[in-house]
Chains A and B, each alone.
Chain A
Amino acid sequence: MASVSANFVCSRTSVRLLNQMMTSKSLRLATVGWGRTPGFPRLTSSRFQISCAAKKETVDKVCEIVRKQLALPADKEITPQTTFTDLGADSLDTVEIVMGLEEEFDITVQEDNQDNISCIQEAADLIEQLVASKS
C-alpha cells in the first residue's frame, strides 16, 4: 500500500489527491513513530489498518450493492471480511455483483482482477485502486 501511494504522489499532482494521500500518509507515519513504545500502538494500529485500506463509504456502498443483488434480509450481518460464498452467492452472482460495482463506480474491472475478488474488503480495495488510477 505504501509503495502505491508513493507512486501517486510522484506522478499525479492534483491537489485533491495529494490531500487524500497526505492524510493517509500522515496516519501511516504516526504508526511508524509509535512502534517504539510497546503497549501504546495496539489501540491505534487496528484503526489505521481500516482507513488506509479502503474508505468506509466505499465499503458501505459495496455492502449495499451486494445486499440488493443477493436479496439478503435486512438483519443479515455483513462485515468487510464476509466472502460472497458465505452469503450464498455462486460464480454467476459474483459476476453480477462485479457488474453492479462497475456501473456504480464507473470503472472497468479486468478478467484477471475479477478472479481475485472473494470478499467485500477486496472488492472495495480494488475499486479504490481503479478509481484512483482513473482520476
Chain B
Amino acid sequence: MKLKEVDRTAMQAWSPAQNHPIYLATGTSAQQLDATFSTNASLEIFELDLSDPSLDMKSCATFSSSHRYHKLIWGPYKMDSKGDVSGVLIAGGENGNIILYDPSKIIAGDKEVVIAQNDKHTGPVRALDVNIFQTNLVASGANESEIYIWDLNNFATPMTPGAKTQPPEDISCIAWNRQVQHILASASPSGRATVWDLRKNEPIIKVSDHSNRMHCSGLAWHPDVATQMVLASEDDRLPVIQMWDLRFASSPLRVLENHARGILAIAWSMADPELLLSCGKDAKILCSNPNTGEVLYELPTNTQWCFDIQWCPRNPAVLSAASFDGRISVYSIMGGSTDGLRQKQVDKLSSSFGNLDPFGTGQPLPPLQIPQQTAQHSIVLPLKKPPKWIRRPVGASFSFGGKLVTFENVRMPSHQGAERQQQQHHVFISQVVTEKEFLSRSDQLQQAVQSQGFISYCQKKIDASQTEFEKNVWSFLKVNFEDDSRGKYLELLGYRKEDLGKKHIKEEKEESEFLPSSGGTFNISISGDIDGLITQALLTGNFESAVDLCLHDNRMADAIILAIAGGQELLARTQKKYFAKSQSKITRLITAVVMKNWKEIVESCDLKNWREALAAVLTYAKPDEFSALCDLLGTRLENEGDSLLQTQACLCYICAGNVEKLVACWTKAQDGSHPLSLQDLIEKVVILRKAVQLTQAMDTSTVGVLLAAKMSQYANLLAAQGSIAAALAFLPDNTNQPNIMQLRDRLCRAQGEPVAGHESPKIPYEKQQLPKGRPGPVAGHHQMPRVQTQQYYPHGENPPPPGFIMHGNVNPNAAGQLPTSPGHMHTQVPPYPQPQRPQNGWNDPPALNRVPKKKKMPENFMPPVPITSPIMNPLGDPQSQMLQQQPSAPVPLSSQSSFPQPHLPGGQPFHGIQQPLGQTGMPPSFSKPNIEGAPGAPIGNTFQHVQSLPTKKITKKPIPDEHLILKTTFEDLIQRCLSSATDPQTKRKLDDASKRLEFLYDKLREQTLSPTITSGLHNIARSIETRNYSEGLTMHTHIVSTSNFSETSAFMPVLKVVLTQANKLGV
C-alpha cells in the first residue's frame, strides 16, 4: 500500500541503514523532463515520517544544483551515528562527472555542500555502487567500457578493475558482490555482464546467454550466495530476469518471465533474499522470489512506467519507485488499508477549501461521500509469503514456577547453501533458579520444622548471626523451646535469678552480724510523745491511729509493720499512703510489684529501660496478662522514633508470641522486597509460631492479614524458584483470602500430578461462563445460573471414577443445576466434591440425605503427607476455625461442646476423607476403616459433621479398656505435677499438656496407633508408676525416633514436657 508520494521526476536514494530517521534524497533526473520543461535541477532531501498519516513527505532541504543526474546513491562512508544525517551522497552526472555531496550540509542549508567532484569519465555516469565492506570504495561506470574504482579518501585518482572490455560499450549497471568484498560485476545494454576480481585486477568471468536480446537494465548480486546474481533485460522481446550462478556460467540457473514488456529496474532486498523487486514497461511493479520464480506481490500502481526502484535499507517493508509521470511513491509491501489515508486526504481537502463553503456562495457543500467501491478496493493484501523479517526465529518466555520456555531455530549445516535447510524444532523448558541461598535456607528451615529440631536450628542461627540484634532475636526464639523460658528470657536480658539470690543471701549474712541481740526486758512507754501515743493506740487496738501516727512521724517501716497486723484493708491503704509520700527512685517499681500493676510500669517506664521493664514483666506478670504486657511494651518501642528501639520491639513480640505484630514490626524495619530479607523474617515467624504452638496453647491457626500476605509472598518467591512443593507447604492453608486460594490452586495444578492427599484447592475464582462456538450440547451449560460458583479444573481428561461422583449427592441443590450434558461439564468442571464455602449460600447443608456426607471434610484438614505441609498447620482449636469459616452454619452449641477436642497438629494424618477425585489420590480404602467401621455411630474424628450434619449429636467412643490405663496414668501424673508446681508458667504448660493429650486419647479410641507406639506408651506408663521418669524419657525418645513423625507429633512432644516436669518436680 502506498505510504507517501512526492511529485518529482528524479533519481532517488535512501539514507543508509544506520541512519535514523530515514531520509530519501532525490536528484533531478537527467533523462526526463518534467511537465514544466524546466531545465533547473535540484537535490532534495525528504524525511520519511511514518507517524504522520498523510501522503506528503516532509521536505527537509533543497539544494539548487547545476547538474542533472543519471544515478544517485547514498553511502554510509564516515557515518556519524550521532548526527541526524550523515554519510555521503554520490551522484553520477551527464558529462562524465561524479559529485560527492555532504547531506548534513544540505540539510543545514549550507551553500558549500560539494565535498569533491571529478569528471574523469566519458559520457553520462549511469552506474554507481558502494562497497558494503569498505564503504570508502565506490565503483562507477560510464561510456566506452569505463569502470573506475574511487577511494573516497583519495578521490583524485581512481583505479580500474582491469583492462577495458572490448568492444567499448556503455556500462549501464555496476554492483559489488554482497559476500566477497573484492568482486565486482558490471553489465551493459549489449547484454554482457563481466565479473571482476580486484585482487587479480582482471575480469574473471563473462556472463552472457548469447541471445543478443538481453539488454541489461539491472544487475544485482544475491545477498547471501556469493556466486549468484540476476540480470534484467529491458528488451520487450525478452522481458526476463535471469538468475546466474557463476559456477555454472554457461546458461542461466533460472529465468523469471513475469513481465510482459522490458524491465527497467530491479532491486534485491537485503533483508530477505527471497524478495526481488522489478518494474517494467508493462507498468507493473512485481516482487518475486528469484529462488523460485514465484511472484509474491504485485504493487498496485497507476499505469505509468517506473524507471527506478529502491528498497529502503532501514525499513525492510518500505520501497520507493520513481515513475515517468514525475512522481516518487513510497510503498509498504505489508498491505493494509488505505481508508485512513483517504479520509485524511478528504479532511485536508475540505479544510483547504475553508470548511463547507469554499466559494463563499452561502451554500455549504454537500458532505463528501467516498463511494463504496473505493472502500473495497482500498484493502491491499500483503505479500503472499511472509518476509523473513517478521519471522521470529527465537523466543524465551517465562511461565509459572520459574520455568523458562525457549526455542531457537537452529539451521543445521547443509551443503546446499541457502537452499532449504534442515531444522530442529525443539522447545526447551528450563528451570531458572536465581536465589540459591534463599532456597537452601528455606530447605534448612523446612528440615528443622520436620525434625522438630528447633533448638539446634536456633542455636545454628545464633552462631551464624552477624549482628548482636540478630543474635538476640534467635536467642529469644530458642528460649521458647527450653524449659523455664521466662527465667531464660531474664538471663538474656541480663538478670540471673541465682546471681541475685546469692547477692541477697550475702547481704542478709552481713546484716545478721549487726543484728543486736534481742531479748531482755523493755519498757512500754505511754508518755505524751509520738512513741507514747502510738503505744496508747496499740494498747487500745487502734491500728489505724497507730499507723497514722507512724506515718505522720515518717516512721514508714513501723507503719507498714503495724498495717500488716491491722489487716488487708489497712495495709493497702497504708501502702498507698506510703507510695504517695515516698520519693525514692525505685518507688514506682516497688509500687508496681506490690500493687501488681505492671501495666503502669510498661506504660510509663522510660523506653531506655525497656529491658528492665520486660524483665519485670517476665518475672511477675500473670500468664493471662503476660502476652498483653509484652505486646504493650513492644508497641511502645515500635512507636518510638529511635530506630534502634523499634527493632527491639521484635523481642517483646517474640516474648509475647505475637506473630502478627512481629511481622509488622519487622517489615517496618527491614526492606522486605529482597528474597533473603523475606527469608530472614519467615524463619523467625515460622519458629515463633512453632514455639507458640508448643508453649502457649494459643490459637495460632488464624493467620493474620499481614502474615498471610508475607507468607504468600514467600510462597510466590519459592514458586518462582521452582520449589512448588515448598511453596505449598508454606502457604497459609486456612485463609479465605482469594489471592492465597488462587495461588494454592495454581501451585497444586503446577505440581503436575497432584500429590496424593493434597487437598484440592478451594474455589480460587468464580467460574465464568465459557464462550461457545456453536449451540448444541453446550447450551445446557449456558442456562446454569451464575450463582453456582464452580471451581475450575483443567484436568477434565481424567474424569473421576464413577463411585466418586458425589456432587449431586453432596448437594442436591447443585444437582438440579448441573448441566444436562455431563460430558461437557466434566471437561471444564469435573464434579469433585468441593467443600464449598457456605457463604455461597447454595451449599447450605441439606437437612436430609446424609449418607455420603461422611466424605466431606472441612477446609482445614491436613493431608497425611508430613514432608510437604507440616509447617503452617493449625495447632489450635479447630472449632474456632471452623466456626470462623462457617459463620452461617447452624451449629448448635451443644453439638459443639460434645465435639471432640483434638487439636490439629502439624502433619497429623487425618485421613483424606475427601479425596481429590479423579486424580490418583489415595485408595478409598485408606479412609474407610474409620468412617464405615462404625455405622451409625459417629466417630470422634469426623469433623465433617459440623459442616454437613449440624444437628447430629456426636459422642466419643470409649477408650478401649486395655489402654484406659494410659489415660489414667498420664492424667494422674499431670494432676500430681500441677499440685506441686508453683510457677504459673509451668502450670500453664501442664494445663495445656492435659488438653493436648486428648489427641492421644482420640487415637486410642480409634485404635489408629501402631502397636509399637501403644506398647511403648504402656512402657512409659509403667515407668511413671514407678516414678522412674528418666526411664520414661528414654522410652519416649525411642518411640519418637522409631515411629512416623506425623503419627505421633500430636501428643509425643507434650508427653515429653509432662515427663520432664515430673522429673524436675520430683512428684
Q: Do chains A and B interact in one complex? A: no
Which B residues contact A (CB, under 8 angstroms)? none
